[in-house]
């Protein structure tokens, strides 16, 4: 009898494990089949009044939002579901909910349409109207303010270094001297290294950071240098391949960019960020993305209006 009972209990446990696995698989399948299944649910209320440019977007029925598609935890296309995932893309979802309400739809025919935007074309896409706004690990600085408007910052980080796990001779900014370092074309990281360590070899930047990651992995470059959240995403995807040096050497305030010269839109997005700070939505976005890669949830940075 005891043996029969033990076997029965083992059987029930096995059934429970299978059921749990099936539920997880069903959830993934549902998300893949329906792009409007939201991984993170926000309380962000719809705005009762919109600036003229955003009212036109609402009347049109959709917002084109720029995001990286190749950076784990900040902006990456999930190969299983096709959805864009990451902290930056969640800023797009908060903005869409603020404009269209919590029942907004997402996808090629939805209210929120993500557009792949890399470092070298961010300003161009905003100026041409290809995108209406973007969050794409985009550092706020005075030079860029001449081309785009920035709301935020919504996150402050710093530039760091990623190398192969067994390459132990690169641990500081100074250690990059004489090393072949990969940075992205048009990035703030390239400009920073030109200034902070002109002895680092950054003569051959690549189109984007996923290309840099591959180039470091295959040994073409000694290191990749960019903002810590991007590096953390690559590390979380390949912890047996890479390591991050225990150093950052810049301050990078990330902003949500919109077309230059529309203060009402900029103020609207700043108001949205402050609402997300106060109602807990920002923390949800962080913990559901960067937090999963091991980043500790910080206090949201104060919005800087100009």
Here the CATH number for the domain that contains residue 219 is 3.40.190.10
Same-domain pairing of 149 and 164: no
pLDDT tens per residue, range 235-257: 999 999 999 999 999 999 999 99
pLDDT of residue 34: 62
Same-domain pairing of 137 and 273: yes
Same-domain pairing of 165 and 258: no
Between CA 149 and CA 258 the distance in angstroms is 5
Query: At 107, is the secondary structure helix, strand, or coil?
Result: coil
Same-domain pairing of 204 and 82: no
* Mean per-residue pLDDT, 109-121: 97
pLDDT tens per residue, range 137-190: 999 999 999 999 999 999 999 999 999 999 999 999 999 999 999 999 999 999
C-beta separation of 62 from 112 below 8 A: yes
- Half-sphere exposure in the Cβ direction for 31 (13 Å, CA): 16
pLDDT of residue 114: 99
Please enumerate in sequence order all residues whose Cβ is within 8 A of that of 152, keeping only pairs 6 or more positions apart, or say none. Answer: 140, 253, 254, 255, 256, 269, 270, 273, 301, 303, 304
Distances (CA, A) of 58 to 53, 99, 223: 9, 7, 44
Mean of per-residue pLDDT scores for the chain? 91
- Name the pTM for this structure: 0.84
pLDDT of residue 36: 66
Same-domain pairing of 148 and 62: yes
| pLDDT value at 22 more than 80 | no
Same-domain pairing of 145 and 189: no
Same-domain pairing of 217 and 268: no
Of 223, 244, 265, which residue constitutes the final position of a domain? 244
The domain in which residue 113 lies consists of 52-156+254-293
SS3 content of the chain, % helix, strand, coil (to 5): 40, 20, 40
> Read out DSSP for 240-265?
TTEEE-S-----EEEEEEEETT-HHH
Is the peptide bond prior to 169 cis by the omega test (within 30 degrees of 0)?
no
Same-domain pairing of 176 and 116: no
Same-domain pairing of 109 and 181: no
What are the tokens at 185? 């074309």
Same-domain pairing of 226 and 82: no
Domain count of the fold of the chain = 2
E strand or H helix at 76, and its extent? strand 75-77
Same-domain pairing of 75 and 150: yes
- Is residue 26 in a domain? no
Distances (CA, A) of 50 to 95, 99, 100: 12, 8, 10
Q: Within the chain, where are the H helices?
A: 2-33, 52-60, 87-100, 122-128, 142-145, 188-196, 209-217, 228-237, 263-279, 281-287
Please enumerate in sequence order all residues whose Cβ is within 8 A of that of 275, keeping only pairs 6 or more positions apart, or say none. Answer: 44, 45, 98, 281
State percent of the chain over pLDDT 70. Answer: 88
pLDDT of residue 38: 83
């Amino acid at each position: 009898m005891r043996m029969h009972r033990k076997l029965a209990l083992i059987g029930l446990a096995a059934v429970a494990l299978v059921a749990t696995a099936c539920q997880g698989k069903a959830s993934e399948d549902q998300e893949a089949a329906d792009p409007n299944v939201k991984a993170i649910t926000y309380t962000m209320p719809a705005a009762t009044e919109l600036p003229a440019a955003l009212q036109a977007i609402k009347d049109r029925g959709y917002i084109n939002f720029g995001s990286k598609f190749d950076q784990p935890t900040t902006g990456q296309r999930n190969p299983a579901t096709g959805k864009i995932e990451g902290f930056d893309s969640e800023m797009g979802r908060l903005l869409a909910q603020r404009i269209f309400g919590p029942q907004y739809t997402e996808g090629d025919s939805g209210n929120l349409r993500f557009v792949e935007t890399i470092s070298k074309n961010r300003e161009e896409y905003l100026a041409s109207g290809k995108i209406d706004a973007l969050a794409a690990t985009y550092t706020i600085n005075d030079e860029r303010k001449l081309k785009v408007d920035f709301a935020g910052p919504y996150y402050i980080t710093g530039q760091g270094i990623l190398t192969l796990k067994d390459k132990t001779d690169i641990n500081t900014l100074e250690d990059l001297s004489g090393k072949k370092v990969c940075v992205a074309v048009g990035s703030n990281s390239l400009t920073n290294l030109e200034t902070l360590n002109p002895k680092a070899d950054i003569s051959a930047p690549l189109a984007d950071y996923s290309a840099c990651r591959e180039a470091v992995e295959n040994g073409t470059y000694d290191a990749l240098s960019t903002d810590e959240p991007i590096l953390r995403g690559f590390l979380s995807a390949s912890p047996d391949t890479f390591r991050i040096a225990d150093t950052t050497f810049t301050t990078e305030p990330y902003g949500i960019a919109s077309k230059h010269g529309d203060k009402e839109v900029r103020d609207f997005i700043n108001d949205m960020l402050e609402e997300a700070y106060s109602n807990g939505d920002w923390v949800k976005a962080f913990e559901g993305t960067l937090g999963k890669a091991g980043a500790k949830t910080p206090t949201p940075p104060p919005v800087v209006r100009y």
